[in-house]
Each structure stands twice: as structure tokens, then as C-alpha cells.
Structure 1
Amino acid sequence: MIPSTATIALVLAVLSLAQYAFLATAAGPRVIIVGAGMSGISAGKRLSEAGITDLLILEATDHVGGRMHKQNFAGINVEVGANWVEGVNGGKMNPIWPIVNSTLKLRNFRSDFDYLAQNVYKENGGLYDQDYVQKRLDQADKAEESGKKLSGTLPASGSNDMSILAMQRLYDHQPNGPEMPVDMALDYYKFDYELAEPPRVSSMQNCVPLPTFSDFGDDTYFVADQRGYESVVYHLAGQYLKTDKSGKIVDPRLKLNKVVREISYSPNGVTVKTEDNSVYQADYVMVSASLGVLQSDLIQFKPQLPAWKVVAIYKFDMAVYTKIFVKFPKKFWPEGKGREFFLYASSRRGYYVVWQEFEKQYPDANVLLVTVTDEESRRIEQQSDNQTKAEIMEVLRKMFPGKDVPDATDILVPRWWSDRFYKGTFSNWPIGVSRYEYDQLRAPVGRVYFTGEHTSEHYNGYVHGAYLAGIDSAEILINCAQKKMCKYHVQGKYD
């Protein structure tokens, strides 16, 4: 039967209405999000909640999660990036904690550092006297407490800020900071182990005290779940991206292995080009690439970002924090209550200082974790894993001279600094950077918006900081796209 002209017209009208209805439901601006780490996924979720659902997420790697990433090592999944929920059991609720502990029920363990004084090893073996170490630790804590009080009296502009080292000179009366091996080890544990950079670099006003612990509590919980800490990011993504029955994201709005190389922007929109020569257009772009990537030449902006933006990007530090996992055929280190963390007091500051054993987290795995940062991280990334293994074996045999210390059978050395998609692990506030530069770092440039842990006003460097930054940056975009409130106010440096 041949349809009549009237029937054809009716069908076309219905199709037209259907198409109009589809466009109505997809109404709103098109937004490209660069990066599917915590901030990018968090920003996408907030945009979706506000009705901005025409999204495209371009991720350079083959997975979601960014610097929250598990890797199989010695038969277990370990976290090569973020590992702790930091800031728990305080006055405010850390937004990551209920997702980890209640919603997903990821295996986690409170990290107990209270016994550290009994676990500090001399450079050539044997333990320091516990009371002696505790006195040195108390002295360092006292100087830090004085620094906290001083921080509270300084103007918010940062005009009177000083380095943590200057604070130590002021209250500890050590002109060069801690110099004895035991003091250097304790100093490294207190600051470098948290900030990934030494006290001579880090801002006292922004780091003493750390808002993460002042706001959310002093407790930290180590996530040791075979599903991976990245499950939190997948959980958030699954609230607005389509998934299959297994939880795998199958939404076409997420594209993996898409390396963004160029972002062109004008008053009319943005164009994003990827390494495979794909071209995508949108009304806005949200860049959640790491600070290290922004400081590199991976992504070219056309036109170039204004000078004030470039200067702000380069003023902040992209620190390097390297967690080295080492597998042994048997255990030779102490176990039991209070033995999880131990320090090596080398005369060379930062040389394989902080160690962790996994009696509770990974029973019978025979794995140790040693953390290095900053220049040691960069040095180690440039040498072979065999060389790193040899250095670690030398240190362990010095620490335990009376033990049968077997050769390590495997080693995992993450290389965040060398990875062009990250160029480091997390940002740090150096001396001389204030809220003014932070506002500039977070500020949009035309239709280009920025997010990431480095744009978190109080919690840079942390998972919850990345999560909250995604929400905050999305709100800035929503205000412009939906409310036409596009002017972003940067308060004067000395206001």
C-alpha cells in the first residue's frame, strides 16, 4: 500500500514533534569536560543535577579515576595514588568518608601513628630510645603549635607569610632546621610525608594548621579494598552516566584514550582537538587536568591564556609523592600493635624514611611500603627499578642487621612525575602564594573553566578537595550558563 500525501505529512509532523521534544529535554549548553578524575567526574555530576546534561568527558587514559588508581602487585590490588581518607572524626563530616565507609563499604583501617617513637631506626641499625625520640617529637610538636597560633594572627593576604622552616627557626631556634638524623626523620614524617615537599618550600600560613584536619578531624583511614579507592569515582559517575549491570560505564558521553592537545576559545564557544585528530565543539569547556599538566605543554590554548592566569599556574608547586611497594618471600620486620609505621633516620634527608607494614591490610602478602617525595622521587623515577631495589635492600639490611633479610622478589615504583598525563601527584602551597593567586588559579578565562584539587580553596592535595573543587567549579559555570552571572570576582591581593 502506498501511503497518501496526508499520511506522509502526518508522519513528518509527528517526527518533527518528537525531534523537538528530544531537543527540549537536551536543552542547555554543551559542556566538554577534560579529564575523568575525581574533579572532572564531580563537576559533571553537579552540572547534570543542574540540568546541564549535554556533556562530553574526554579522558586521556584508559580508565576513570585519575590519580585514584589501583594496580595489581604480588597478587593483590594496591593503590599507586591516593590511599587514605584524611580528616575523619572531627567537627565536620568529610564528604568522602560516608561514601567509603557506609555506601560502598570499602575495607579501611585507621592509621595509628601514636607509637612512632618506639619505631625509629638508627642509620646503621638498632632502635633509638623511645623516650629520647618522644622528647624530640614533643619539641617539634610544640614549635608547630606555636606556628598554628601565629598563623591565626596573620593577614589573609599572605603578606606576612613565612616558610615552615622559618617557623621552625623562630620557635625551635635551629638556624638550619632539624640537622640530626633522628630530627630530620621526624621532620620528614611531620611535613614531607603529608605535603610532599620540605618545610623550606611550604607556606606556614596555608599549611599550619592544615584545614583538612582542623575541619574534619585528625584521624586518617587507609583504604585497602580489592575494588580500589577509585570505586568512589565510579560510584559518583554512575549517578549520571549510564552503566551496565556490572557497573561498567557504557555512556557514550565518556570517551577514553582521548588526549586533548588543543583548546581554542572565543566569545562564541570552544573547540577541543585531541591527539587522534578528533575535533569537538561546545559552548564551554571544564579543564580538570592536573596542575602539572597545565604547567607543561601538553595542552595548547588558543589564544594563549592571559599573563595573569599563566603566572598563577606557575606560582603553585606540583609535588611528587611516590609509594614504593616491595614484595619479599618472608617477613623479617616486627609486627603487632603499634608496629605498622616505622622510620629510618638516615643522615641524608628524605632517603627511604617512612615505612609501613600491612599485617592487617594485606595479611600474608609479605609486602612493605616505603614512601619518598620531591627530589628523591624524581631521582628514583629516572633510575631502573633494579637500582631502587638494591638501595632499598641496603637500607633494610642496615635497619635489621641481626635479621635474615632476603632479597625482594618484586617491586612497584609508580612514576607520576614522568607521566605526561599527570606530571606529579598533587599540588602544594609554596611560600609567597596567597588566596589572591588561588582565586586566579580557579578563575575562568572566557568560556574555559578550571577545576582540580589544585583549585580547592582549603583542601588542595586531598581527595575531598578534588571532589569539592569539582562542585565549586561547576557552580561557577552554572551561574554563567543559566543565570548569566559570568563575572568572576578576584579579590585584590591586599584586600
Structure 2
Amino acid sequence: MMWLAGGRTFSILISFAWFACCAYSQSPSSSQHLYVRGNESANAKEADVIILGAGIAGIATAHTLIKHHGIKDVLLLEARPVVGGRAYLEELVDPRNSRTLHVEKGCNWIQGYGHENITKLAKKWDLKTQAQNYSSIAYFNGTRGLAIDDAKIPPGKFLNDDQLDFMNAYDEAADNVTTYANQRLKRQEVDLTARAALSILDWIPITPLQKVYEWINVDFTFAQPPEVCSLFNTFSVSEDASADRLVIDQRGYRHIFIKELEEVFGSSLNDSRLHVNTTVKNINYSGKHTKIETDKGTYTARKHVIVTFSIGVLQDNQITWTPRLPNWKKEAIYSFAMAVYQKTFLLFERKFWRDEQFQVYADPDQRGRYPYWQNLNAPGFFNGSTDGYVYFVTHVDQEARRIGSLGDDDVKAEAMFKLKEMYGDDIPQPLDVLVPRWDQDPLFRGSYSNWPLGELDQHHDNLRQPVGDNKVFFTGEAYSKEMFGYVQGAWEEGKQTGTKIANCLKGNGCPGGFAFESIKTCSQQQTTLKRRDILQHQFLRNKKE
């Protein structure tokens, strides 16, 4: 999508949605643990380049430096015992036989603008994927909220094909709002919230079905509601979702990134340059060399440090800086958005849901509550008898945070209340449940970034800028203007940062350290009546009376 700031345009596109993949295994083999663990006893704590975080961007940076530029004096630090970052596998456990089911807690799509290089990696490492069919969907008009007495209310029902006219008004508004967004861009008018723009074009959702359909088209992609999303980010370009592919490889999405890292760190990743279980506490860039304080001691970067932490982690302020980051950098960090996209997985002993790939629940009380269910046993995906029966539901933003604040048993009870309304009381209890809670994880503090209303080109330029005379660089999906929120955004930004660092080390020129220290609005006529004037006028009038 197109964004206009400072008289220049650039593309920004929709964020990736996360879905699940899974397959049964008896237990992880010892070789599988070696496959992702790295060297936990590494002693070297000094290098020319130190990369903080072995997620997708960190792996891309290390791979680019070592393989493509011959820069081998590199350390890669990771807080977790495994690499991959938000390409993150988790387990569901069948208590009847202790059999584990691996599910993709994090990213799972190959999709969106710029996905070609990820597609190449998937082909290179034989990653199994399956095309997603968004037209394979059923809608349920719910009647029960979450109150105990709601169980007495007659259940809602799945809609027939001739009952889907609630979609038409939104689809027409969405077509018009894309034209409207591009007209505003051409006229160099200010951005609006997606909600304001839709309302201007007479789309105001009233019924639960209208609200959930809007949720599918906005919240499900951006992990934030229309009241927060930027018009230009949301509607100025249409995406072709027919090319979306869901990763269904039991080795997980991270497999392709691990294999790339193996090319430089060896097949077991037992390289002394990879330090796992190492948590960063402080980054001191005040001297000639940058000192990194961790729970395993102090590391020294003689030349450069690359920070790959999520925007959510930087906003959480759990890592301290010496000296403190400059205000222009902090403004850039806190101006960007870290969204929460959360899948709740339920493992069952049998399949009782419909055959479509998606089932949509329109909650009568709360927009976006248990709205979007995905059937991982749909035709072409997993065989339930051999792979397991998995149904999962996606929440975003405040509802995702609410779900994350509950205990697993409470989440299970809520989910079953909705499922019983949809499918009747004669359904089994789940064997296991998994609630990711991305916003509560101190290593992530969210799922992926989103470009919010008010974020200017200059803010994002500052976000990308290094600090400390090019000693400390920043990279990751949030730093990509065109592919923020995408897997490929993290991968391509990591590769570009690796090349920048290599050029610095080889004397081919470092990127300029230019930053916008003060970002100002365009000149405009001052509003004649301010809120203070209104309040003062009211006060004086009341005083006279």
C-alpha cells in the first residue's frame, strides 16, 4: 500500500497472518534437539560483530556476513535454547499415550509482497506447504454470550449460502475505500483511521455478522482494529490471497532458517560462535567498543552490534542502554505498533466440526470474541487418525490479551461453551489446550509489527538508523518499509544489514548516520477555536449565571 510523507511515497503492505501446522511424533529425537540448540558451553565473548537474537533476521544477518562476505569473526547470541525466533514450534500432548503434537505457535504463512525469496528457500529445503482456500468457509450466527445464563438461550445456527448478503455492503465499501485512499494520497491529504474512512463511505457495522465480517477483513490481517489501523496501510492496495500457502511441514517453518544457519555453523549448530540461553541485560555503546551485559557475563563487540529484538521488546524497556537512546530513536520506537495475534489450539480425540477450512462465529455481545476457527483436518491438510484432530481459534489485540490473561482451564471452558453452541452438547472435551500469550513473553512482547496512524516516513527512517557512530545497528521485520510484519521482511532486512556491516568492515563505506532529530508537521492555518477556549467560555457563562 502507498504511504505519503514529506512529499515522497513508498509502499507499505499488509502484515502476515499466523496459522498453525502440526504433525504427531512419538517424541523429539536427540538429533532433533542438536538440530536447533547450538553451543551452550561456548566461552568466547569478544568478536568484531555480535548479533543479538537468533530469530529470522539474526540468522539472515549471520548467514550473509559469513557465507557471502567472508566475515567470520561473528558471535550470535540467543536467549532461548533454540533458534528461530517467532518461527516457533510448541507441543500439544495426548494424555492417553503421551504422544506429542507439534504446532506452529508463530509464523506459518508463505504469502504477501516479496515472498519470492521465502518461496525459494521453501523449495530449496523441501518445505511442505498447502494452498489456502478462503472461500471454503461457513458462518455461524451466534446467540449466546459468555454468561452462565446464556446457556439457556436457544443456540444460533450456521447460515445457508442465500443468507450471506451481509457481506455485500462491506465488499462494496472496501472497493470504494481503496479508491478513496488513493485519491487522498494523490491530493496529499492526511491519513485517517480505517474506521473513519469506512464510516465516511457509509459502512457502519451494526449486526454481529457485519462486525465479524469486518473483523475478518481488517483485524485478522493487521491484528489491530479499524479504530487503530491506518487507512493508507489498510486499503490503498489489494492483495491476491489466492497465492497464500500454509506451511504443513512437521519440522516447522523454522526448518528452512535452521538449514540456512547450518550452512555456516555446521549440521549440528554446535559452533562456538552460537551462544544460546544467553539473555541481554544492558548495551553500553559509550566507549570505543560496545559492551553487552548478559546473564552469562559481558561480551565485547570490537566493531558492530546488530540488535534484532522485536519492537515490543524495545518498547518494554527491559534492556537498558548506556548512554540512554537519543530521543529521536525512542520516538521512532514508541511510535510504531506491536500487534498481538494469538491462536488457541485445541486437541481432540475425534473431529466433530465441519469440513470447510474455516468456520466463523459471530458473537452477539463482543466483536472479535472466538471469531475465526480453522480446521486443520480439512481435505488436503492432516489425516486425523494419524496426525491428530486439531481445531484452533484466532484472537487479536485486546481480546487476545484478555484470553492470554486467563488460565488454560478458563480458556478451555470459554472455547467449549462456544463450540457446544455451534455443534451441540455431544462433543468431547479437549485432550489438551495451548494458549501462546505472545504479549506476556518477555522475549517478544507481541506477534508482529503494524504501521499505525501517525507514523511518518521520517519516523521509520529513524527506526532504521544506527546509533553510536554506527556501532549499534537495528534489524528485523519492523524495519522494512515494504514488508514489515512479514517473514520476508525479517529475512530481507537481515540480509541487507549483513551487507551493510560487511561494507563497513571492508572500508566500502558505512551508511550515513543521518537522523531526523525533530519531526514537524506541515504548516497549516491554526484552528480558531480550541478546546481550552470552549471550556473557558463555558466557565465564564456559568459564572455569570
Aligned to 2:402: 379
Aligned to 1:252: 272
Distance of aligned partners of 1:467 and 1:159 in 2 relative to their CA distance in 1, 3 Å threshold:
farther
User: Letter of the aligned partner of 1:450 in structure 2?
Assistant: F
Asked if 2 retains the 8 angstrom alpha-carbon contact of 1:126 and 1:400, the reply is no
* 1:474 paired to 2:498: yes
- Residue correspondence of structure 1 range 139-178 to structure 2 within 5 A: 139-155=169-185, 160-174=190-204, 178=205
How big is each residue's C-alpha offset from its partner over 1:95-140, in whole Å with a ceiling of 9 and x where there is no partner?
111222x212222111101133x4344333211242332x332332
- The count of aligned residue pairs is 447
Asked if 2 retains the 8 angstrom alpha-carbon contact of 1:30 and 1:52, the reply is no
Equivalent residue in structure 2 for 1:67, among 86, 94, 116: 86
Structure 2 residues not aligned, in runs of 5+: 1-46, 94-99, 144-154, 523-545
* 1:300 paired to 2:320: yes
Distance of aligned partners of 1:250 and 1:209 in 2 relative to their CA distance in 1, 3 Å threshold:
farther
- Residue correspondence of structure 1 range 95-174 to structure 2 within 5 A: 95-100=117-122, 102-116=123-137, 118-123=138-143, 124-133=155-164, 135-155=165-185, 160-174=190-204
Equivalent residue in structure 2 for 1:227, among 251, 270, 284: 251
Aligned to 1:340: 357
Q: CA deviation at 1:218?
A: 4.4
- Residue correspondence of structure 1 range 285-324 to structure 2 within 5 A: 285-324=305-344
Structure 2 distance, partners of 1:229, 1:157, is 42
* 1:78 paired to 2:103: yes
Structure 2 distance, partners of 1:85, 1:444, is 30
Aligned to 1:424: 446
Asked if 2 retains the 8 angstrom alpha-carbon contact of 1:157 and 1:434, the reply is no
Structure 1 distance, partners of 2:297, 2:453, is 41
Distance of aligned partners of 1:474 and 1:458 in 2 relative to their CA distance in 1, 3 Å threshold:
same
Aligned to 2:510: 485
* 1:453 paired to 2:453: no
* 1:462 paired to 2:486: yes
Please give the secondary structure, in 2, of the residue aligned with 1:238. helix
Aligned to 2:432: 410
Please give the secondary structure, in 2, of the residue aligned with 1:119. strand
Asked if 2 retains the 8 angstrom alpha-carbon contact of 1:318 and 1:427, the reply is yes
- Residue correspondence of structure 1 range 31-70 to structure 2 within 5 A: 31-48=49-66, 49-70=68-89
Structure 1 distance, partners of 2:237, 2:89, is 27
Equivalent residue in structure 2 for 1:198, among 219, 225, 230: 225
Equivalent residue in structure 1 for 2:459, among 418, 432, 437: 437
TM-score normalised over the length of structure 1:
0.85
Please give the secondary structure, in 1, of the residue aligned with 2:111. strand
Aligned to 1:349: 367
Q: CA deviation at 1:419?
A: 0.8
Asked if 2 retains the 8 angstrom alpha-carbon contact of 1:157 and 1:436, the reply is no
Q: CA deviation at 1:50?
A: 2.2
Asked if 1 retains the 8 angstrom alpha-carbon contact of 2:133 and 2:242, the reply is no
The range that moved more, 472-481 or 309-318, is: 472-481
Aligned to 1:396: 419
Please give the secondary structure, in 2, of the residue aligned with 1:139. helix
Structure 1 distance, partners of 2:513, 2:381, is 46
Asked if 1 retains the 8 angstrom alpha-carbon contact of 2:57 and 2:475, the reply is yes
Please give the secondary structure, in 1, of the residue aligned with 2:363. coil
Structure 2 distance, partners of 1:267, 1:470, is 26
Structure 2 distance, partners of 1:158, 1:398, is 49
* 1:181 paired to 2:201: no
Please give the secondary structure, in 2, of the residue aligned with 1:33. strand
Asked if 2 retains the 8 angstrom alpha-carbon contact of 1:157 and 1:493, the reply is no
Asked if 1 retains the 8 angstrom alpha-carbon contact of 2:61 and 2:494, the reply is yes
Distance of aligned partners of 1:180 and 1:356 in 2 relative to their CA distance in 1, 3 Å threshold:
same
Distance of aligned partners of 1:154 and 1:250 in 2 relative to their CA distance in 1, 3 Å threshold:
farther
Structure 2 distance, partners of 1:53, 1:155, is 46
- Residue correspondence of structure 1 range 211-222 to structure 2 within 5 A: 213=239, 218-222=242-246
Equivalent residue in structure 2 for 1:367, among 371, 381, 390: 390
Q: CA deviation at 1:489?
A: 4.4
Structure 1 distance, partners of 2:514, 2:177, is 31
Aligned to 2:376: 358
How big is each residue's C-alpha offset from its partner over 1:151-190, in whole Å with a ceiling of 9 and x where there is no partner?
334449986111111121122342xxx2310011111111
Distance of aligned partners of 1:232 and 1:159 in 2 relative to their CA distance in 1, 3 Å threshold:
farther
Q: CA deviation at 1:284?
A: 0.8
Asked if 2 retains the 8 angstrom alpha-carbon contact of 1:202 and 1:429, the reply is yes
Distance of aligned partners of 1:71 and 1:304 in 2 relative to their CA distance in 1, 3 Å threshold:
same
Structure 2 distance, partners of 1:391, 1:199, is 26
Please give the secondary structure, in 2, of the residue aligned with 1:137. helix
Q: CA deviation at 1:268?
A: 2.2
User: Letter of the aligned partner of 1:393 in structure 2?
Assistant: M
Aligned to 1:19: none
Distance of aligned partners of 1:448 and 1:406 in 2 relative to their CA distance in 1, 3 Å threshold:
same
Distance of aligned partners of 1:207 and 1:435 in 2 relative to their CA distance in 1, 3 Å threshold:
farther
Asked if 1 retains the 8 angstrom alpha-carbon contact of 2:78 and 2:279, the reply is yes
Please give the secondary structure, in 2, of the residue aligned with 1:483. coil
Aligned to 1:87: 112
Aligned to 2:23: none
Q: CA deviation at 1:444?
A: 0.8
User: Letter of the aligned partner of 1:99 in structure 2?
Assistant: L
CA RMSD for the aligned pairs?
A: 2.3
User: Letter of the aligned partner of 2:375 in structure 1?
Assistant: E
Please give the secondary structure, in 2, of the residue aligned with 1:87. coil
Q: CA deviation at 1:319?
A: 0.9
User: Letter of the aligned partner of 2:212 in structure 1?
Assistant: A
Q: CA deviation at 1:342?
A: 0.9
Aligned to 1:15: none
User: Letter of the aligned partner of 2:376 in structure 1?
Assistant: F
Structure 1 residues not aligned, in runs of 5+: 1-28
Please give the secondary structure, in 1, of the residue aligned with 2:346. strand
Asked if 2 retains the 8 angstrom alpha-carbon contact of 1:318 and 1:424, the reply is yes
Please give the secondary structure, in 2, of the residue aligned with 1:240. helix
